[in-house]
Amino acid sequence: MPGSSFGHTFRIGTFGESHGSAVGVIIDGCPPGLELSAEDIQPELDRRRPGQSTVTTARQEPDSAEILSGVFEGLTTGTPICIAVFNRDARSRDYSAIKDIFRPGHADYTYHAKYGVRDYRGGGRASARETVGRVAAGAVAKKLLAREGIETLGYTCQVGDVVMPQTQGVTHEQVESNAVRCPDPQTAEEMLALIHRVRKEKDSIGSAVELVAHGVPPGLGEPVFDKLKADLAKALVSVPAVTGFEYGSGFAAARMRGSEHNDAMYTSDGAVRTRTNRHGGMLGGISSGEDIVVRVALKPTASIPQPQDTVDVDAHAAIALTKGRHDPCLAPRFVPIGEAMMALVLIDHLLRWRAQCGSSGKSES
Amino acid sequence: MPGSSFGHTFRIGTFGESHGSAVGVIIDGCPPGLELSAEDIQPELDRRRPGQSTVTTARQEPDSAEILSGVFEGLTTGTPICIAVFNRDARSRDYSAIKDIFRPGHADYTYHAKYGVRDYRGGGRASARETVGRVAAGAVAKKLLAREGIETLGYTCQVGDVVMPQTQGVTHEQVESNAVRCPDPQTAEEMLALIHRVRKEKDSIGSAVELVAHGVPPGLGEPVFDKLKADLAKALVSVPAVTGFEYGSGFAAARMRGSEHNDAMYTSDGAVRTRTNRHGGMLGGISSGEDIVVRVALKPTASIPQPQDTVDVDAHAAIALTKGRHDPCLAPRFVPIGEAMMALVLIDHLLRWRAQCGSSGKSES
Amino acid sequence: MPGSSFGHTFRIGTFGESHGSAVGVIIDGCPPGLELSAEDIQPELDRRRPGQSTVTTARQEPDSAEILSGVFEGLTTGTPICIAVFNRDARSRDYSAIKDIFRPGHADYTYHAKYGVRDYRGGGRASARETVGRVAAGAVAKKLLAREGIETLGYTCQVGDVVMPQTQGVTHEQVESNAVRCPDPQTAEEMLALIHRVRKEKDSIGSAVELVAHGVPPGLGEPVFDKLKADLAKALVSVPAVTGFEYGSGFAAARMRGSEHNDAMYTSDGAVRTRTNRHGGMLGGISSGEDIVVRVALKPTASIPQPQDTVDVDAHAAIALTKGRHDPCLAPRFVPIGEAMMALVLIDHLLRWRAQCGSSGKSES
Amino acid sequence: MPGSSFGHTFRIGTFGESHGSAVGVIIDGCPPGLELSAEDIQPELDRRRPGQSTVTTARQEPDSAEILSGVFEGLTTGTPICIAVFNRDARSRDYSAIKDIFRPGHADYTYHAKYGVRDYRGGGRASARETVGRVAAGAVAKKLLAREGIETLGYTCQVGDVVMPQTQGVTHEQVESNAVRCPDPQTAEEMLALIHRVRKEKDSIGSAVELVAHGVPPGLGEPVFDKLKADLAKALVSVPAVTGFEYGSGFAAARMRGSEHNDAMYTSDGAVRTRTNRHGGMLGGISSGEDIVVRVALKPTASIPQPQDTVDVDAHAAIALTKGRHDPCLAPRFVPIGEAMMALVLIDHLLRWRAQCGSSGKSES
């Protein structure tokens, strides 16, 4: 059922299997008149794709974005924007080794249990390759947000036991300055060393990513179910391998007193501000004007080059053996995906705000 | 905008402000023929309401459920079920002290920034009293799930630094055996002692709740956005004061190796099982048949009986002073709310599964 | 399933059965800051309710609107507005005569076939009494539209063979000047005479209503499925007893040539206008700035005081005998319902327009 | 905004402009395990496309369907099915003549007023070419319905003043036996003669199509807004050029008495039936088990090879001159589109029924 679409007013729907003909996305509800071309989307896809560095897989997928609709003479028309990435060479492989096996930590068994039929090639619909559509749509969202002075920025803040010290004022350039996408150079080196060691040991390692949105005006987010925090939680937890979500003080709040947790409010140049940001930029699920800060946990890559005990489709004991190369740590490539999901939530809520609370009406626009 | 409804196929919409005429819920899509009366709903509302014990507030709100539609001769008819709890005595209080103040840690300022107008009485729509509707709907969901052998169960697993040891086989009776709703008696006593100390110190304390669903068949959850884990994240993070969500290994996964994280699969009586449950009962966002296990973090109660620095609606510095009594720890009363949200997600996905993957058609039913 | 809600951005959900505790509506997405009280809603409910005149039924239902949420100090707060009309005296009647009978022309059998259980009292959920919620929500929509200079106006244009001559510039006062709600006094008299004759003959008669929206700016309506004409069709055909919908030239277009049907365009004071309005104010499903003109057909009232051949719940032949009094013609009371549905579609599309195509963003508002 | 998707549980979203890179559709929620290939879709696209006969346009568009996702080894997988038709040769034309002109009867002006920017090539998104996606999705819906014994069938019942006599038991073969898709051979000849005369006179002519669904079980359709009749109205009126919708007695009901309109009920082989079908197979918006019968009116083709008065984008008077060839009558090519829309509504409601009212649960399936 309609589980492949997301957003209320700026709405996306993704399609495609890992090794099928194409993966892509339809964006419905994009404001008209935005300058847009494949060149706006390609850099984000390049950040997402494998084979970027020694800590990501060596597979080469060109991931070339094509805009099939919704853009005319370089401008969005307000109608659905379909963006597709065609898989050029995927069909010829031999899948006999995994065809009948349920790999541990993968969705093989659960898809089988749900549908009875599944595309076993490279994980099919459950593959992280599905995120191509999210990242493409996120690139459009980011461009719309930039017009409002809003930026989303993510970075690797933890790999195994290596945790980045708390940092403010991280820039995109710092994030992109190293392969692990950690803005702190010292920590980045330690993370890289750990990832290389893990890979050598034919293993993988868990990680965490922090995401920040700057410039979000106060007032975005709906009461009750479509709170900004709730939509961010759904958006990010829906990404493969994400096992946890927190914002502001997050799980650390469970140990805190109210007197230390509440952020004192004050006024600065007429704006209401808070002296600290344990609320992560959201109160009652509505943006406060402070930076929105969230964190997600990523499990270690399920595909590891070791034999693992499992069962096959006939419920017999079997051994799963991963072929091909896989990222030993998911955080670096998650960064652009997380930014995209955050941007998609924010643009949706910005348009929703405009509908309900914007200036009076068409006649006045 | 439509932020007050939740669910795709079993859909609820809540209404009401803390001190308005009524709070309640409409359930649309409930299967017909379910025996239902106010007596099915009342016990859950009683678990949620304040004044149950020395660790919850002493306010007395009767919270008496009335079914206004959708039930006839004791059976659900398949049409919308409206359940309302009328506020009997709320109107006469004096709100002049908080009318113009933005309380720290509350949604006063963000509602003001969003709407320009807000119901300042007791937090208005942002009050935890809104969860009355969720709990009432959750009682209906629980009854439907029980017919399928599915149960949702929550318990307090952390208060401040007091953390419950890992426990299996928790029962509803154990949970309800003490005021803090922690199934481990020893831990419960420590939690109660801490809460009493915190209250005496005019402060509040953070906490965490674990939620388990037993008996969920494999195959529930949609690919991509409406993954079971994603809808659980949204459902739970949408509750006031929730600052984090994790399932299975959660944030601990960030420190783990793939070789220790992947749950080995085996067969038992023809069923595919896993030897461990670090995947929290969900792979690829679809249920695996193992227990679904999630955890949420709750911030310390924002309302504390201490003066706090803040600003007023004219952006002048002000002091916020909480009147009335408030729970110093939110976990005990969150337990029934969390169970309700989990049940609402599960029944929705069960019906969605039935629509897409159920038996062939009407003619065969 | 969620069939009781309508609208995308200004969204309503109705609840309640004809003889249950209450009927009502929740409005989600109403802009904040609108002055609103029960007095704004009551006049529309009074136009809808039975017992207004000799051509409507003599039953007395007070239909007193109560606003349960979403309004504070006389202003909408932006949160869900719940409006309920409680049924004061409905429970004591004797329904044994219709309990087991499927009345011809009614939904008794189809509800039974769908749900297995049904509220047989007065038609239950299928009763026209359900439209109380629509009309209440429509009153709010009308008030919002009035701020934009938009008005919806309906009138009876046909009763049996009595057809109103084409008329322009109809006013609300003309419509309300007679019991049949036909703005042409001569036609109104003929209609009234026909209705009285039909009633005397223990029969009922079909009718048609025309609805016009003035002041709709060009640009409302979405491409493809959510065309303005499509949403109006759904909104109006969803009302009980409506058997047809057309706009502009409607079914007469089937007989016309393109050269006579196309409306020539010209410019007047800088505005693009058409010399004729066979397009009914919508081209490509998007408003053109001309009056939006639609028409609906209403079947004759199914409840007639004559014995009719039918079957009972055990599939045995039976005779249906209607008790109580029923309107012999549905158009007069449909007028406020039709206006409400039209207003609900227009405000929804106005807000949707604002979200996608409104001024740039929050920062500029 | 999300106006390009349709359906609740079997949900489709279309994309593409008339002369863009591709037109197509995503289907989300299709049951898994259905045998499906491009060969199932192509015949319906061939029925829809221009150039089939002397009464449709001579343009040659190959309209070759490609399935990009959601099908594996010949079976649907339950994940989104993306079907695209790529435009091979559309880019090279000269559009200077219509670039700045608002054609009468077209959506040129309303798109311009809404979005400020528009794809003027061949009508862009407003072109009937958008229906390629609907017809492709409809082919899948038809295949699913066939498994349940449900068939949708349409035919031209009116062209100008030529009206087909009432007919029962129409077959697909009869419909496809002539170019105008009217099952009555005598009427078909008259229609063809009229269309040829109109074309010769450089004009176009209106028409009407009747659609019938056989084998629909009782109980499909939701109360209140998502009535089966309401969703059919929306689905069909959303198609370009449709100006009216009616079901059963339709607009003729406005002239009828209740005593002649109500369909008497009786029992046949245990099934509840009606002796006549003025209710068009739907009572209270829910299917009764009788044939579902609806009719739509189609305006005469707006593109006619005559000069027409209009305005340009600068609001100056201008002359619109249509180039290329266009169908002088829309009914023949509407038939497969109408069948597709009807099938999409029915499969959606069948799945919705199964979710809410189907057999008890997953465990029993």
The interface pTM score, or ipTM, of the predicted complex is: 0.96
Q: Is B69 on the interface with D (CB under 8 A)?
A: no
Amino acid at D346: L
For residue C148, the chain A residues in CB contact (below 8 A) are 360-363
B176 token code pair: 């309800």
What stretch of H or E contains B258?
Answer: helix B258-261
Nearest to B238 among A158, A198, A230 (CB): A230
Q: Is D27 on the interface with A (CB under 8 A)?
A: no
For residue B113, the chain A residues in CB contact (below 8 A) are 218-219, 272, 286, 288-289
Do C117 and B78 make contact, defined as CB atoms within 8 angstroms? yes
DSSP lists the bridge partners of residue A162 as: A159
User: Comparing C202 with B94, which gets the higher pLDDT?
Assistant: C202
Give the pLDDT confidence of D49-102 residue by residue, as tens digits: 877 776 766 555 578 999 999 999 999 999 999 999 998 765 557 788 788 999
Which residue in chain C has the smallest CA separation from A31?
C356
What single-letter DSSP state applies at residue D41? H
pLDDT at A361 over 80: no
Measure Cα distances from D261 to A204, C195, C236, D248, D284 in Å: 73, 16, 21, 10, 15
Over range B308-325, report the average pLDDT.
88
Which residues of chain C from 282 to 311 reach within 8 Å of chain D, CB to CB?
A: 282-289, 297-304, 306, 308-311
Pick out chain D residues at pLDDT < 70.
1, 54, 56-61, 89-92, 359-365
User: Comparing A168 with A332, which gets the higher pLDDT?
Assistant: A332
What does the alpha-carbon distance between residue D319 and residue D308 come to, in Å, rounded to a whole number?
5
Which residue in chain C has the smallest CA separation from A359?
C365
Average pLDDT, chain B: 93
Q: Is A77 on the interface with D (CB under 8 A)?
A: yes
Cα of first residue to Cα of last residue in chain A, in angstroms, is 38
What does chain C come to in residues? Answer: 365
Share of chain A above pLDDT 70, in %: 94
Q: Is A266 on the interface with D (CB under 8 A)?
A: no
Do D13 and A23 make contact, defined as CB atoms within 8 angstroms? no
Do C110 and D224 make contact, defined as CB atoms within 8 angstroms? no
Q: A38-42, A98-102, A338-342: lowest mean pLDDT where?
A: A98-102
Distance from CA of A231 to the nearest CA of C (A): 17
Rounding to the nearest 10 degrees, give the CA dihedral for residues A331, A278, A276, A146. 50
Which residues of chain A from 85 to 114 reach within 8 Å of chain D, CB to CB?
A: 114
Nearest CA to C353 among D134, D133, A364, A82?
A: A364
Over range B170-197, report the average pLDDT.
97
Which residues of chain A from 230 to 249 reach within 8 Å of chain B, CB to CB?
A: 230-238, 240, 242-249
Do B109 and A272 make contact, defined as CB atoms within 8 angstroms? yes
Top-confidence range, A57-61, C217-221, D91-95: C217-221
Burial class (CB in 10 A: 0-12, 13-18, 19+), B307: exposed
Do C362 and A355 make contact, defined as CB atoms within 8 angstroms? no
Give the pLDDT confidence of A165-199 residue by residue, as tens digits: 988 899 999 999 999 999 999 999 999 999 999 99
Q: Is A74 on the interface with B (CB under 8 A)?
A: no
Give the global pTM.
0.96
Q: A27-41, A97-111, A291-305, C72-86: lowest mean pLDDT where?
A: A97-111
pLDDT at A59 over 60: no
B70 token code pair: 């959708």
For residue B288, the chain A residues in CB contact (below 8 A) are 109-110, 113
Do C316 and D283 make contact, defined as CB atoms within 8 angstroms? no
Do C29 and A357 make contact, defined as CB atoms within 8 angstroms? no
Do C362 and A220 make contact, defined as CB atoms within 8 angstroms? yes
Residue D56 pLDDT: 67
Chain B interface test: which of A118, A224, A303 (most B C-beta within 10 Å): A224
Q: What are phi and psi of D345, to 5 degrees?
A: -65, -45
Do B6 and A256 make contact, defined as CB atoms within 8 angstroms? no
Residue A204 pLDDT: 97
Distance from CA of A68 to the nearest CA of B (A): 22
pLDDT at C257 over 90: yes
Give the pLDDT confidence of C228-256 residue by residue, as tens digits: 999 999 999 999 999 999 999 999 999 99
Chain D interface test: which of A5, A114, A117 (most D C-beta within 10 Å): A117
Q: A259-273, B90-104, B179-193: lowest mean pLDDT where?
A: B90-104
Share of chain C above pLDDT 70, in %: 94
pLDDT at B297 over 80: yes
Which residues of chain B from 107 to 146 reach within 8 Å of chain C, CB to CB?
A: 114-119, 121, 124-125
Do C359 and A358 make contact, defined as CB atoms within 8 angstroms? yes
C175 token code pair: 């419509």
Distance from CA of A326 to the nearest CA of D (A): 24
SS (H, E, C) A134-199: HHHHHHHHHHHHHHCCCEEEEEEEEECCEECCCCCCCCHHHHCCCCCCCCCHHHHHHHHHHHHHHH
Give the pLDDT confidence of C134-188 residue by residue, as tens digits: 999 999 999 999 999 999 999 999 999 999 998 889 999 999 999 999 999 999 9
Average pLDDT, chain C: 93
- Those chains having 3 or more beta-carbon pairs within 8 angstroms of chain C are A, B, D
Q: How many CB atoms lie within 10 A of CB C289?
A: 19
Residue A92 pLDDT: 59
Q: Is B18 on the interface with A (CB under 8 A)?
A: no
Do B29 and D355 make contact, defined as CB atoms within 8 angstroms? yes
Distance from CA of A300 to the nearest CA of B (A): 5
Do C206 and D246 make contact, defined as CB atoms within 8 angstroms? no
Measure Cα distances from D140 to C48, D43, D137 in Å: 43, 12, 5
Which positions ≥6 away from A64 have C-beta within 8 Å? A38, A42, A45, A85, A86
Over range B77-103, report the average pLDDT.
85
- CA C337 distance to own-chain centroid: 3
Distance from CA of A222 to the nearest CA of C (A): 9
Do D110 and C287 make contact, defined as CB atoms within 8 angstroms? yes
Domain boundaries along the sequence of chain B: 5-357
Residue A52 pLDDT: 75
Q: Is C170 on the interface with D (CB under 8 A)?
A: no
Residue D89 pLDDT: 61
Q: Are strands B265-268 and B271-274 parallel, antiparallel or unpaired?
A: antiparallel
Give the pLDDT confidence of C96-148 residue by residue, as tens digits: 878 899 999 999 999 999 999 999 988 899 999 999 999 999 999 999 999 99
Nearest to B217 among D353, D356, D363 (CB): D363
Do B119 and C5 make contact, defined as CB atoms within 8 angstroms? no
Do B253 and A316 make contact, defined as CB atoms within 8 angstroms? no
Across the beta sheet with A65-67, what order do the strands follow?
Answer: A5-6, A11-15, A22-28, A81-86, A65-67
Confidence label for A118 from pLDDT (cuts 50, 70 and 90):
very high
Residue A50 pLDDT: 79
Do B365 and D355 make contact, defined as CB atoms within 8 angstroms? no
Q: Which CATH superfamily is C5-357 part of?
A: Chorismate synthase AroC (3.60.150.10)
Q: Is A360 on the interface with C (CB under 8 A)?
A: yes
Q: Is B363 on the interface with D (CB under 8 A)?
A: yes
Residue B243 pLDDT: 98
Over range C287-310, report the average pLDDT.
96
Q: Is D167 on the interface with B (CB under 8 A)?
A: no
Residue A323 pLDDT: 74
What stretch of H or E contains C267?
Answer: strand C265-268
Average pLDDT, chain A: 93
What does chain A come to in residues? Answer: 365
Q: Is B69 on the interface with C (CB under 8 A)?
A: yes
Residue A49 pLDDT: 86
pLDDT at A82 over 80: yes
Angle between helices D331-357 and B331-357 (to 10 degrees): 130
Over range B58-71, report the average pLDDT.
83
